[in-house]
């Protein structure tokens, strides 16, 4: 019987072509959409991890509570001891101490008068020491578009966009006006040796990247760090492992009563991240549901048209002694075969586009001018194992629903009434 159905589908293009195309299109869009969002998520997680959240992040409890305000007055003090302990307790992890700071950037002219001035977001990382993971992690080699990397104390990098706005050239001396950990005003001179372009709008608007030791001394933060970012040594985030480590760390080092005791948060646990992930999942759900709804309606109507065209066949099959239920099921089987074919082709098409977008990427830089999210301007789709199967959900459900509804007429009506209508 299945063979009989298959022959019908293959030989009768008008029976299969339109439904297959419908399913193909819906499935391809679902797969592409899914890969696109996977790409967004992956890229966003990677970028966030590197620049903001680490796979895990250690802060003082107080700092953690106000993390979005860069509260250096609440920074954790006693980094050296803590680092020594961490390297004993969790030797396989990679650590990166960071200080975030805000400030005014001031460019003096020859007389020492202000020539240009602008606010910027500062990030201090270990730029100079041999064993620092930062240069590689932040991809600085490639991000420096003019000038060079800092080679000694007192040298900094700034965003190229910012530099162009303020007409700053490599080699220029500049002054940072900020405040110390204890709330006093602090000024420090630096030489701008290179300009940065990360391709991440939120960072490229106005950022200063300085060496940790320089900022510690300028802002009076000896042995302090706002944040210690912690990474798995293969740079792949693993939710479960991260949670286990954070739990172990907090059990040992954190003290609920002591607001300057350190606390470790996982990437997912940090501000908004979980919400955002949930939102993306929800969005995927809505998208798949919409495709199911739209495709079902289209296929329902296609099924109605198909059964009009095939009235003769339906009548003959009933007359030959096929049970209505059997006929109904065979129509559904037929459509599911079509659904499978459409889903396979649609998945192939969707994946082809997704692989293309994975290799090429789409530049969304213009849409992100006001974004504060740390995310790459170039979004690359990401093909995951789920990409290969996700399309089958709307593909098969929609064909099933569409045909079930359109076939219901056959199932519900009296056989004789059908025969009459069929004018067999």
Partner 1 sequence: MENSFLIKTQDLVKTYPMGHTKIFALNGVNLNFRPGEFAGLVGPSGSGKTTFLNIVGSLDSPTSGSAVVMGKKIEDLSHKQAAWLRNQNIGFIFQTFNLLPVYTVYENVEFTLLLLKMSAEERKDKVMQALEWVKLADRAKSKPAQLSGGQSQRVAVARAIVKEPSIILADEPTANLDAENSFNILDTMEELNRELGTTFIFATHDEKVIKYLRRKITLVDGKVAKDEALEQKKVKGGNQ
Ligand X SMILES: Nc1ncnc2c1ncn2[C@@H]1O[C@H](COP(=O)(O)OP(=O)(O)O)[C@@H](O)[C@H]1O
Query: Could you give the count of Cα atoms lying within 13 Å of 64 in the half-sphere of its Cβ?
Result: 23
Q: Which residue's CB is nearer to ligand X, number 142 or number 417?
A: 417
Report the Cα 249 to chain-centroid distance in Å.
27
Q: Counting beta carbons within 10 angstroms of the beta carbon of residue 250, is it exposed (0 to 12), middle (13 to 18) or buried (19 or more)? A: middle
CA distance 407 to 334: 12
Interface with partner 1 (CB under 8 A), residue from 194, 315, 342, 395:
315
Binding at 61: pick from partner 1, ligand X, none (beta carbon under 5-8 Å per type):
none
By CB under 6 A, what part of segment 259-298 binds ligand X?
none
Q: Is 408 in the site for partner 1 (CB under 8 A)?
A: no
CA distance 43 to 81: 34
Interface with partner 1 (CB under 8 A), residue from 161, 259, 322, 421:
322
Stretch that binds partner 1, among 110-118, 172-180, 311-319, 400-408 (CB under 8 A): 311-319
Interface with partner 1 (CB under 8 A), residue from 88, 320, 366, 369:
320
Q: Is 80 in the site for ligand X (CB under 6 A)?
A: no
Q: What is the DSSP string of 84-110?
A: HHHHHHSTTSEEEEEEEEEEEEEEE-T
| x/- track of binding to partner 1 for residues 262-301 (CB under 8 A) | ----------------------------------------
By CB under 6 A, what part of segment 360-419 binds ligand X?
417
Which residue shows structure tokens 């074919």?
A: 341
To ligand X, the closest distance from the beta carbon of 408 in angstroms equals: 20
Q: Which residue's CB is nearer to ligand X, number 405 or number 424?
A: 424
Residues 6+ apart with CB under 8 A from 372: 202
Within 10 Å of residue 276's Cβ, how many Cβ atoms? 16
To ligand X, the closest distance from the beta carbon of 385 in angstroms equals: 55
Which residue shows structure tokens 């993971």?
A: 133
Binding at 313: pick from ligand X, partner 1, none (beta carbon under 5-8 Å per type):
partner 1
∠ CA 155-137-372, nearest 5°, is: 85
Binding at 415: pick from partner 1, ligand X, none (beta carbon under 5-8 Å per type):
partner 1
Q: Which residue's CB is nearer to ligand X, number 282 or number 417?
A: 417
Binding at 325: pick from partner 1, ligand X, none (beta carbon under 5-8 Å per type):
partner 1
Binding at 269: pick from ligand X, partner 1, none (beta carbon under 5-8 Å per type):
none
Angle formed by the axes of helices 13-48 and 2-11, nearest 10°: 90
∠ CA 374-144-227, nearest 5°, is: 45
Of 20, 5, 32, the C-alpha closest to 298 is 20
Q: Are strands 185-196 and 155-159 parallel, antiparallel or unpaired?
A: parallel
Q: Which residue's CB is nearer to ligand X, number 412 or number 420?
A: 420
Q: Is 423 in the site for partner 1 (CB under 8 A)?
A: yes
Q: Is 329 in the site for partner 1 (CB under 8 A)?
A: no
CA distance 267 to 274: 9
CA distance 415 to 405: 18
Q: Which residue's CB is nearer to partner 1, number 11 or number 88?
A: 11
Contact present, 136 and 235 (Cβ < 8 Å): no
Q: Is 148 in the site for ligand X (CB under 6 A)?
A: no
Q: Which residue's CB is nearer to ligand X, number 316 or number 419?
A: 419
To ligand X, the closest distance from the beta carbon of 417 in angstroms equals: 6
| x/- track of binding to partner 1 for residues 9-48 (CB under 8 A) | --xx--x---------------------------------
Q: Is 323 in the site for partner 1 (CB under 8 A)?
A: yes
Binding at 262: pick from partner 1, ligand X, none (beta carbon under 5-8 Å per type):
none
To partner 1, the closest distance from the beta carbon of 419 in angstroms equals: 5
DSSP annotation of 21? H
The phi and psi torsions of 157 (rounded to 5 degrees) equal: -120, 145
Q: Counting beta carbons within 10 angstroms of the beta carbon of residue 191, is it exposed (0 to 12), middle (13 to 18) or buried (19 or more)? A: middle
CA distance 255 to 248: 13
To ligand X, the closest distance from the beta carbon of 398 in angstroms equals: 34
Q: Which residues of 142-166 are buried (b: 16+ CB within 10 A; e: fewer)?
A: ebbebbebbeeebbbbbbbbbbeeb
Interface with ligand X (CB under 6 A), residue from 420, 422, 423, 424:
420
Q: Which residue's CB is nearer to ligand X, number 123 or number 418?
A: 418
Contacts with ligand X, residue ranges (CB under 6 A): 417, 420
- Footprint of partner 1 (CB under 8 A): 1, 4, 7-8, 11-12, 15, 312-313, 315-326, 414-416, 419, 423-424
């Amino acid at each position: 019987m299945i063979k009989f159905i298959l022959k019908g589908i293959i030989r009768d293009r008008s029976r299969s072509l339109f439904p297959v195309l419908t399913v193909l299109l819906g499935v391809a869009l679902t797969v592409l959409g899914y890969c696109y969002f996977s790409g967004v998520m992956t890229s966003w997680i990677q970028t966030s991890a590197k620049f903001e959240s680490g796979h895990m992040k250690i802060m003082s409890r107080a700092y953690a509570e106000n993390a979005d305000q860069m509260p250096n007055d609440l920074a954790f003090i006693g980094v050296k001891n803590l680092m020594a302990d961490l390297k004993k307790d969790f030797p396989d992890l990679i650590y990166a101490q960071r200080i975030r700071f805000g400030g005014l950037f001031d460019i003096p002219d020859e007389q020492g008068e202000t020539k240009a001035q602008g606010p910027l977001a500062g990030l201090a990382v270990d730029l100079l020491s041999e064993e620092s993971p930062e240069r590689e992690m932040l991809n600085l080699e490639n991000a420096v578009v003019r000038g060079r990397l800092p080679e000694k104390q007192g040298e900094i990098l700034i965003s190229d966009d910012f530099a162009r706005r303020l007409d700053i050239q490599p080699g220029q001396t500049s002054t940072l006006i900020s405040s110390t950990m204890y709330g006093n005003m602090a000024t420090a001179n630096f030489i701008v040796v290179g300009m940065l372009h990360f391709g991440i709008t939120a960072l490229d608007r106005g950022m200063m990247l300085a060496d940790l030791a320089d900022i510690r001394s300028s802002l009076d933060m000896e042995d302090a760090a706002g944040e210690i970012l912690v990474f798995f040594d293969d740079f792949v985030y693993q939710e479960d492992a991260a949670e286990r480590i954070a739990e172990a760390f907090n059990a040992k080092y954190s003290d609920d009563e002591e607001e300057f005791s350190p606390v470790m948060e996982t990437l997912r646990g940090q501000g908004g991240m979980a919400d955002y992930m949930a939102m993306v999942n929800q969005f995927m759900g809505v998208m798949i549901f919409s495709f199911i709804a739209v495709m079902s309606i289209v296929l329902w109507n296609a099924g109605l048209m198909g059964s009009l065209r095939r009235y003769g066949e339906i009548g003959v099959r009933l007359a030959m002694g096929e049970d209505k239920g059997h006929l109904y099921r065979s129509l559904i089987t037929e459509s599911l075969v079509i659904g499978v074919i459409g889903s396979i082709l649609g998945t192939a098409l969707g994946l082809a586009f997704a692989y293309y977008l994975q290799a090429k990427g789409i530049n969304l830089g213009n849409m992100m001018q006001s974004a504060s999210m740390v995310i790459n301007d170039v979004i690359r789709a990401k093909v995951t194992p789920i990409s290969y199967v996700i399309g089958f959900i709307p593909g098969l459900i929609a064909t099933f629903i569409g045909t079930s509804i359109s076939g219901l007429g056959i199932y519900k009506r009296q056989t004789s009434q059908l025969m009459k209508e069929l004018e067999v």
